Amino acid sequence: MSAHLSLALPPRRWPLRRAVGLGLLLLVSTFSLLGPWLIGTDPAVQSLAHSLQPPNPNHWLGTDLLGRDVLARLAHAAQLSLGLALLAALSAAVPGVLLGLIAAWRGGAVERTLVLLADAVLSLPGLLLVLLLAALSPGSLGALYLGLSLSLWVEYFRVSRAAARPVLAGDAVQASRLLGFGPAYLLRRHLLPALAPLLGTLLPFSAAQAVLALAALGFIGVGVQPPTPELGSMMTEFLPFYAEASWLIAAPVALLMLLVLGMMLFVGEEMPE
């Protein structure tokens, strides 16, 4: 009886860990989507008479140096960061997966060329690539989006190529080809079922990477520019007041921590290498 219980414990523990991670990600996503609407406060409205107020019933997270509501700015910042990061991750997934499948399907010179292209992109750190594009167009959301997409597609390429190669060489695909089924059937029946779990794991990971990259760029002043609320720029604004108003810097930091913790719990050991 104990042997059966010990064998049953790991399957119970792992889904619970992923469920907690998914719950944290959904919590942050819900806050970013519904927060601005539920709070109903303009994040740009200033009131110097209410500067650096501590958390109170009117301002649940207090106010910043200009008297702006921190909770409202945090909700809009989360919406901007998550929306841009998710868009960049999805935009990177489409060409990354397609190129990975083409490389695994065609092989030969086509595969070598695509692998060489991916290695060339990997030779340049992703954050540096985003930084270069952001420097060409300071404060432009389009430049940040393009830089993030260009830096994220390689992971999708590598994962889809590695997963597709054994599937294409398997007996099931060979039998389908002998029976006369075309590429569309092979893609729908064999490749997509094999890729779906990996891509479902990689998508939140790359989206979280994009959020952290946006925050890092905003923190050093080359990302989204004020007065637009953004997590990294909010940290920069709040850092000089950490001694007298520590709740300010705690708000964006806590949101990023929840996002990273949710990503780590959800992805866990199933992250493809």
- CB neighbour class for 38 (10 Å; exposed up to 12, middle 13-18, buried from 19): exposed
Q: What is the pLDDT along the chain (273 residues), one digit of tens a residue?
A: 444 444 444 444 556 888 888 899 889 889 989 988 888 888 989 988 889 999 999 899 999 989 999 999 999 999 998 889 889 999 999 999 999 999 999 888 999 999 999 998 888 777 788 888 877 777 788 888 898 998 899 999 999 999 999 988 888 888 887 888 878 888 888 888 888 888 888 888 888 888 888 888 888 888 888 888 999 999 999 999 988 888 899 999 999 889 878 877 887 655 444
Residue that is written with structure tokens 């994040």 in the block: 43
Number of residues written out for the chain: 273
Of 47, 81, 84, the residue nearest 67 (C-alpha): 47
